[in-house]
A and B are shown apart, each in its own frame.
Chain A
């Protein structure tokens, strides 16, 4: 960490000497090992350590944000000089300044358990063993003969960074995570080769699910997609499995940023304090979750991390407000980007929520589509299983859902108690009434 700290200080010092009024630098180092395994042997291995520095310059009321991986001292010095010149060449912006020091204060000192010492010795052999277990699990069942191919992979990341700002902020960050993923392709008599798979990303090795079990479940998913057909074009209930619910979270988050508000590109503009969803819709950004994949003590601008209530019982309560757009909008900064996004859990799990669904679709995957953050209109491809009278039916694919996000959130009728633990978006299983499906 000392080398990162020294480098960050050096860049800020150089920038100030070149005439910057303020500067902030973040230096980082990331070590990644990765292995991909396919059909009984290693497909690909990779390993590297990456370095770089990014910095923001505030020069004569002007602003530039730059990054380089060329850290040769002479190259870095001339890059700082050029970057100061770059800022000088553009228009002044009265809203550009480093954040008020008060925003740096109150930083939590809680141990977020972001580094598992056991991961340091998780080498490429361990990656290979774990990836192989996925395939062994995938091929362990009675449907193994339908399998065309199994690919799996493991990667381990160790990351360190140091951030220093000329108005008094400094902070360091170390974190590590391991990702396991795999995909199974199977033969469908109708000529398709449906593929499906599962993944898990965790900070602590002991939180990693069994690779073999993940493989076995992946095969079941792919086999379940055999014979998939379009759903009917009709209005039905939609049950969204927790592991794919983040697609809907992304549509919400993009409309919750202060930039979108200020640029008049958010359908949630003017709705603070208003109802935008059902009573089940409570969404919180919590940066201080122990072992959370999005956990942090401070954000990219150095703002001390705090819990941010975005939606409470259906009422819009907050936005992602960074320092710059906060100044433009006269709103108090919260944080500019999501950390861990939580949707308050209800009762039950996937099984009970499916059982309670009379006529609907269990969505196990999204395919493409988009949401218009200015208007809230969305149209997304989905795949999954038809549900009738609480029982899973045939596989469906080549089907779309569409509508407006405000209506969708209002129609959130039940929420599981099963947040997905392997993503920074920890959404549970969600049930929406009256969703327009378009298929056959």
Chain B
């Protein structure tokens, strides 16, 4: 029925069966509650005013007004926010995991938080102070839409964790791109939202928490009310139906409650990352030894408590590490994301390979195409590249004509034309080359991971390259092309080695590789945000532009690393096309046929790393091209890598170049980074792709 069925097997299967020692329900709840109380007490003693435990304790005997004010005006609102956010996300995650029957379902990975955050940003951009309930409703609507979309295209999570997470992370990426676009275009109105976008608990009053409290109660009570039905649902759809439980209605109701909870959390503190993932997972890990804790009547409230422990614990750790003053600068969500993503990695490592039942990116499903058709496609794609190049040169903040280009080539154009073409040439060239490189990298990664939904970004390579480049760009602003390129390559390579190393457990499972990659990418992303917030807190537009993939200000020398990498890697990949075909089938066929699996896999992935890293200096961090282009190529010419490796880069070049041209022209003289456009264009395609290939 499912690849990663009910909660228990997925988590318990890692170790040898242990003797079951029941943890009494009350003991579990009491322990969690005690931990909450202890952490909350520590939390209350931390803060920028320097008032510590002894000052607070003195309140018992004498009422010092100042201490009292600090407690009421800062410590308690902050703690209440943490309580609301933690419990809401914990319960929400627990419900979503049960609905999806998948331990990776969570508000973050399902795009609920991203959808809610986008809605909140839209509200903020209007510049009008709106009541919190309105922001909350917007967040709910945004979150619900995202959840519905992701659930629909991943068959409610029944299609296995990888598919669900890929769908969710793609949806999050697209929604995040829209948010970034708004942050870039309305930078003064949204100045605080960049840090808040990672989740902040610096509440000055309990208004938001109080207004969201009824939602919190409604959500949790609603889920507890559904508890018995959710318990039965865990037995499987057929069993549940046989026992008279409305499968559909239970799913829908539970999802609505879960999204309400997640939206309440986003309204109070912004999208605090990975709490909804880690809290229920921890609960289930504990419960794996004691099934009474896995009854939803207990699971939901217990996950809520664990969620509080995660959030308050992260906030406490943040202040313990950075000190109270600097702790204000780093969003709490960065810490929860960091450690939540590490948990995701640990989970992925425990994840057992679900066998060779993969929807591999080979010719399965796509019929072998006739030779003539392939020729037509290649010629058409080639023509499209030329067209994209020419249109890219002609279109921008102002239209030019072909005669201008001719005059420019002969060095006879007017200043006006010369300026424009001198600027556009490296940008168009960079977009074309980077698009091709990303498509090649995507093709390689999809073949190796045997997953048509994988792309370089999902293996953490892009995030690593971005982090490397950001480290250099923030520490030495005058760093040249080669320093940036070198740092990006090192970052990408290190991240990749980490991902590969973590995913390796006596062999490489394609699923594990993707899940570990997503976890590491999230962790690296959190570190990048932390670095940007700490080093250059007032220059978020620059950081956003850099991270969203822009060709702005690029010159021809920036393209050199890219050209060299393409020249070296492309022939290598083409030469390995047969191995790639075999690699894409399963683990065994290549071995039987004498392909040295590990060596080829390493070489191909190393090529993908080099290609991805080299694009960072030319266009920054761009997603989706490596995902969409190879897939479109397979749809056109079939799965043989001999053909895909030719067509995919052409399509990738057209995609990124068109995105760049659109970004340069639609709101000229202002510009939209190309990476945001590719995400906006790529997402609908990706959604359609997932939807069409959904298991029925």
Q: Is B one of A's binding partners?
A: no
Q: Residues on A close to B: CB < 8 A?
A: none
